[in-house]
Amino acid sequence: MNTTTTNSGYLEQLTWLRGIAAFFVVISHIIRATEVDYFSQNSSSLPAIFYSLDLGTFGVLLFFTLSGTTLYISHSNQKTLLTHFYIKRFFRIWPAFSVSLLLYILFQPIFSAFYTELQGFWIEKQFVTPYSLNDIIQYLFLFQNVIGTGGLFNNAYWSLPVEFQYYLIFPLLIVSIKYMKFLGPLVFGLLLYLIYKFNISHFSQTTVFMLGFSFCGGVTIGYIYKQLISNGKTFKLNFSTILLLLSFIAASLISNGVIKLPDYPIISGIWNWYILLSFIAVIAVLFGKVHLHSKVKKLLNICGNISYSAYLFHNLIIAALILFCIQFKIANEWLLFIVFTGTLIGTYYVANFSFTYVESKGISVGRKICSYLQGSIKKAL
pLDDT tens-digit readout, 82-109: 888 899 999 999 999 999 999 999 999 9
Answer yes or no: is pLDDT of 321 > 80.
yes
Answer yes or no: is pLDDT of 7 > 50.
no
Rounded to the nearest 10 degrees, the angle between the axes of helix 12-34 and helix 294-305 is 80
Band (46; pLDDT cuts 50, 70, 90): confident
Averaged pLDDT for residues 256-271 = 80
Q: What is the Cα–Cα distance from 20 to 302, expressed in whole angstroms?
A: 11
Whether residue 4 is contained in a domain is answered as: no
Q: What is the Cα–Cα distance from 31 to 53, expressed in whole angstroms?
A: 9
Q: Would you tell me how many other CB atoms lie within 10 Å of the CB of residue 360? A: 14
pTM: 0.93
Whether residue 3 is contained in a domain is answered as: no
E strands in 225-301: none
Whether residue 41 is contained in a domain is answered as: yes
Band (378; pLDDT cuts 50, 70, 90): low
Q: State how far the alpha carbon of 99 is from the alpha carbons of 96, 313, 375, in Å.
A: 5, 10, 30
Q: Specify the amino acid at residue 187.
A: V
Answer yes or no: is pLDDT of 331 > 80.
yes
Q: What domain range includes position 185?
A: 12-380
So what's the pLDDT on residue 82? 80
Whether residue 6 is contained in a domain is answered as: no
Whether residue 359 is contained in a domain is answered as: yes
Q: Give the chain's mean pLDDT.
A: 90
Whether residue 1 is contained in a domain is answered as: no
The alpha helices in 118-158, defined as continuous H runs, are: 125-128, 133-140, 144-147
In b/e form, how buried is each residue of 232-266, taking b as 16+ CB within 10 angstroms?
Answer: eeeeebeebeebbeebbebbbebbeeeeeeeeeee
Band (135; pLDDT cuts 50, 70, 90): very high
Whether residue 5 is contained in a domain is answered as: no
So what's the pLDDT on residue 302? 95
Q: What is the Cα–Cα distance from 110 to 279, expressed in whole angstroms?
A: 41
Whether residue 371 is contained in a domain is answered as: yes
From the list 64, 98, 71, 21, the residue with the least C-alpha distance to 362 is 98
Q: CB burial class (10 A; 0-12, 13-18, 19+) of residue 44?
A: middle
| DSSP state for residue 237 in the 8-state scheme | B
Band (363; pLDDT cuts 50, 70, 90): very high
Averaged pLDDT for residues 216-245 = 88
Number of domains in the chain: 1
Q: What pLDDT, in 10s, does the model give residues 57-91? A: 999 999 999 999 999 998 876 566 688 889 999 99
